[in-house]
Amino acid sequence: MARRNVFRAPDATEVGPRRGRVRFVLVMIVLAYCGVLTRSWYLQTRRHADFVERAEGQHRSVVKLRARRGDIVDRKGRELAISAMVPSVSAIPALVRDPLGTAATLAQLLGVDAEVIGKRLARGNQFAWVKRQVTPAEAQAVEAANLAGIELADEPRRFYPNRSIAGALLGFAGVDGEGLEGIERDFDHYLRGREYVVGSLRDARGRQLMTGGYLPVEHLSGNKLELTLDLRIQQVAEQALAEQVKAMDAAGGVVIVLEPSTGDVLALAQTPTFDPNLYSQATPDAWRNRITVDVLEPGSTIKPFVVAAALDTGKVRPDDLWDGMGGRIRVGRKTVSDVHAVSVMNTLEIIQHSSNVGAVQVGQRLGREAYYGYLRAFGFGEESGLGLQGEVRGTLHPAEKWGLIHLATISYGYGLTVTPMQMARGMAAIANGGRLMQPRLVRRVVDAAGRTVEEFPPRVVRRVISEQAARDVSRGLELVTQNGGTGKKARIPGYRVAGKTGTAHKVGSGGYAKDKVRSSWVGFVPAQDPQLVMYVMVDEPKKAQYGGAVAAPIFAAIGREVLPYMGVEATEPVDLRALAAAGADVDVDEEVAEGIDPQARPWWFEAPLGNEGPSQVVVPDLKGKPLAEVVAQVEALGVELDVQGAGLVVEQAPKAGSLMAPDGRLTVALALPGEPPSLVAAALDLETDEGEGTP
């Protein structure tokens, strides 16, 4: 019997569950497909950059470097700071097969810490520095070791070819090409090169195929900075300062050399100094630029400024006579004194003898408001505009806060603080005929192609005093280096010198310290046509104290070298006897005049006959003598004295050797060295020798 296939339709109870399973499978397939699509979109879009970087990291290493930093040169193009490409050692930790062994090898070759390098290599990063700016020998050793994942890349390193010369001024730059101190920091926006990228391509075994660096790196280099500094003058200034600081067993010192007509800074020297190539071995105190950040009380170097202000207002004339008051003047409840009293002096001789008593009287006649205004006009109490960060203003309280004693003490240099740059800048204004210049340190900025990016021309800030007042003060400053002055050691053979000495006691815990002073000199040369202005300060000298003995010789030493170098011709005959006298090892207190023994009997005084007074006296030879000595001699004679001019006696009437009655009148004409005596005599209507007519 044949078997038949009989189809049996599923009943309702079977169809429902089957359809549910199909639908579930379809939904799961759709969800899985959507998940795949979502994941694919996420990996290809959101994670695209990450995977590209990871992929490239397996065969490419990238290092970000800076282009060459711009050079710094002096006014004649001589290099002060330069950059050179040197190798640095880096690693691709992902390609390092044996981190610990590689670290040990690198430690042996480069002198690095094996533990520190081992940790860097074990992190698996794409890049890590091992040691930057290595020596050529170290680079050759690393290259010969052929360590997997270790490579060399050139980057610029800063060098200072003159070592410590101008070290504190130049400052230094770090390994990343960023200026950290001094000019390197303050003009970093000009000097710094722009960032660029170098890389290398490797095969699957880590072998180097090619290197990158196809950008025109020379176009990314920093700009060159051309300074007003003169390397030769800087060397001379630093050497003269260092030798005198050592000779005086001093704590340190500074020297500023300016060109008064332009405000150009020719030298900024200080000691102690440091080598910017080895800046990490020096202390931050050595990095400090004392020229602009240190303040001090100026002492007697302020006296030319109070005299200049008084002359400019017309309240004082150069030939006004001032009472020395026995070397003591009462101001309120205080007494201001000179160590050696001067009986009488004219206005310019207050500068010559550095008389506190005279300076106080000039300040009183000038008045506090006017004096304050002139001090501000000379640049005290404000930044100089040199362009260096951290420059301080000093302390100059408003005039309304000055009492009588404040006016007095500020007249001879206490009660205010100044920076060395302010003192040099103020004296340069006098040397420049009364015009205050902004100090200029940078002449121009030049790009890598030699094109001028920016130029900084000389700038007159303002006129402070008239040309006549500047000439008169200059005559007083020139007297300082003459007989009777306090700055004879500042003399320079063949040149007329003008300047002022100063000695200021430093403030200690209980007031002013008697054994700690700052000895200073500020002046210019040649006096009749200033080419150089110098400020010199020696801190805490132990072998001597007075500015005339400590600071003035530094000025002379620099001038003797620099003036011929600059082509400034000598105009004066060299007086060897005067030079020998100027070089004598004798301290002169610049706060006072040279003492005259009032008990000494002058040879030219005729003793009276019996008990009567002298019937006639012999007129002494007064030529070449300062006014203080003339006054002392004439007082001893008992005759009246007429004085015209300032400086040393060039003419007198009656003539030397003549006889005159005790109640007679003696007339003297004074002038600075170099002024024609005949002109002075004619102007004053004095007698001259027969045959010597006047024009």
**Average pLDDT over all residues of the chain:** 81
Q: How many CB atoms lie within 10 A of CB 302?
A: 29
| Rounded Cα distance, 502 and 469, in Å | 22
Domain-located, residue 110: yes
Domain range enclosing 625: 617-684
Do 223 and 235 sit in the same domain of this protein?
A: no
**Which of 227, 252, 271 is the last residue in one of the domains?**
227
CATH of residue 638's domain is 3.30.10.20
Per-residue confidence (pLDDT) for residue 676, from 0 to 100: 53
Per-residue confidence (pLDDT) for residue 365, from 0 to 100: 95
Do 198 and 331 sit in the same domain of this protein?
A: no
Q: DSSP 3-state assignment of 163?
A: coil
pLDDT digits over 15-57, tens only?
666 777 777 788 888 888 888 888 777 777 766 676 666 665 5
Q: What is the DSSP letter of 267?
A: E
Q: DSSP 3-state assignment of 522?
A: strand
Per-residue confidence (pLDDT) for residue 2, from 0 to 100: 53
Q: Would you state the structure tokens that stand for residue 531, as one six-digit string?
A: 């080419």
Partners of 225 in beta bridges: 72, 445
Enter the pTM of the model.
0.73
Do 218 and 240 sit in the same domain of this protein?
A: no
Residue 200 has pLDDT above 60, yes or no: no
* 486 in Cβ contact with 501 (< 8 Å): yes
Q: Would you state the structure tokens that stand for residue 479, as one six-digit string?
A: 């007297």
Known catalytic residues are 300
Range from 372-386, 418-432, 662-676 carrying the lowest mean pLDDT? 662-676
Average pLDDT of the residues in 475-489: 92
- Residue 306's closest CA among 382, 347, 362, 234? 362
Confidence of residue 112 (pLDDT cuts 50, 70, 90): confident
pLDDT digits over 526-564, tens only?
999 999 999 999 999 999 989 999 999 999 999 999 999
| Rounded Cα distance, 415 and 380, in Å | 13
Residue 8 backbone phi and psi in degrees, to 5? -120, 115
pLDDT digits over 275-314, tens only?
998 888 888 888 888 888 889 999 999 999 999 999 999 9
pLDDT digits over 374-420, tens only?
999 999 999 998 988 888 999 999 999 999 999 999 999 999 999 99
| Rounded Cα distance, 572 and 570, in Å | 6
CATH of residue 292's domain is 3.40.710.10
Domain-located, residue 103: yes
Higher pLDDT, 322 or 647: 322
| Rounded Cα distance, 558 and 576, in Å | 19
Q: What is the 3-state secondary structure (H, E, C) of 166-215?
A: CHHHHCEECCCCCEEEHHHHHCHHHHCCCEEEEEEEECCCCCEEEECCCC
CA quadruple 563, 564, 570, 576: dihedral positive or negative?
Answer: positive
Positions of E strands within 358-510: 435-437, 442-446, 452-455, 460-463, 498-508
Do 182 and 221 sit in the same domain of this protein?
A: yes
- By residue count, the chain amounts to 695
Please list, in sequence order, all residues whose beta carbon lies within 8 angstroms of the beta carbon of residue 118, skipping any fewer than 6 positions away. 99, 100, 103, 104
Q: DSSP 3-state assignment of 29?
A: helix
Largest Cα span, the chain: 195
Do 327 and 214 sit in the same domain of this protein?
A: no
Do 71 and 43 sit in the same domain of this protein?
A: no
Q: What is the DSSP letter of 98?
A: -
Q: How many CB atoms lie within 10 A of CB 397?
A: 13
CATH of residue 213's domain is 3.90.1310.10
pLDDT digits over 234-250, tens only?
999 999 999 999 999 99
* 195 in Cβ contact with 91 (< 8 Å): no
Do 49 and 99 sit in the same domain of this protein?
A: no
Confidence of residue 160 (pLDDT cuts 50, 70, 90): very high
Confidence of residue 198 (pLDDT cuts 50, 70, 90): low
| Rounded Cα distance, 593 and 607, in Å | 29
* 339 in Cβ contact with 538 (< 8 Å): no
Do 42 and 111 sit in the same domain of this protein?
A: no
**Which of 582, 606, 635 is the last residue in one of the domains?**
582
Q: Would you state the structure tokens that stand for residue 328, as one six-digit string?
A: 């003591």
Range from 470-484, 490-504, 591-605 carrying the lowest mean pLDDT? 591-605
Per-residue confidence (pLDDT) for residue 255, from 0 to 100: 97
Do 218 and 331 sit in the same domain of this protein?
A: no
| Rounded Cα distance, 352 and 630, in Å | 15
Average pLDDT of the residues in 612-633: 70
pLDDT digits over 86-103, tens only?
888 888 777 777 778 888
Q: Would you state the structure tokens that stand for residue 373, as one six-digit string?
A: 């205004």
Average pLDDT of the residues in 585-602: 35
Residue 66 has pLDDT above 80, yes or no: no
Q: For the chain, what is the domain count?
A: 4
| Rounded Cα distance, 228 and 264, in Å | 6
Higher pLDDT, 131 or 169: 169
Residue 164 has pLDDT above 80, yes or no: yes
Per-residue confidence (pLDDT) for residue 24, from 0 to 100: 78
Do 650 and 560 sit in the same domain of this protein?
A: no
Do 184 and 260 sit in the same domain of this protein?
A: no
**Which of 164, 194, 227 is the last residue in one of the domains?**
227
Q: State the Rg of the chain over Cα.
A: 40
Per-residue confidence (pLDDT) for residue 118, from 0 to 100: 80
Q: Which amino acid is at 363?
A: G
Cα-Cα end-to-end distance for the chain: 172
Confidence of residue 579 (pLDDT cuts 50, 70, 90): low
Domain-located, residue 587: no
Domain-located, residue 607: no
Do 96 and 34 sit in the same domain of this protein?
A: no
Q: What is the 3-state secondary structure (H, E, C) of 208-266?
A: EEEECCCCCHHHHCCCEEEECCCHHHHHHHHHHHHHHHHHCCCCEEEEEEEECCCCEEE
CB-hemisphere CA count at 13 Å for 633? 20
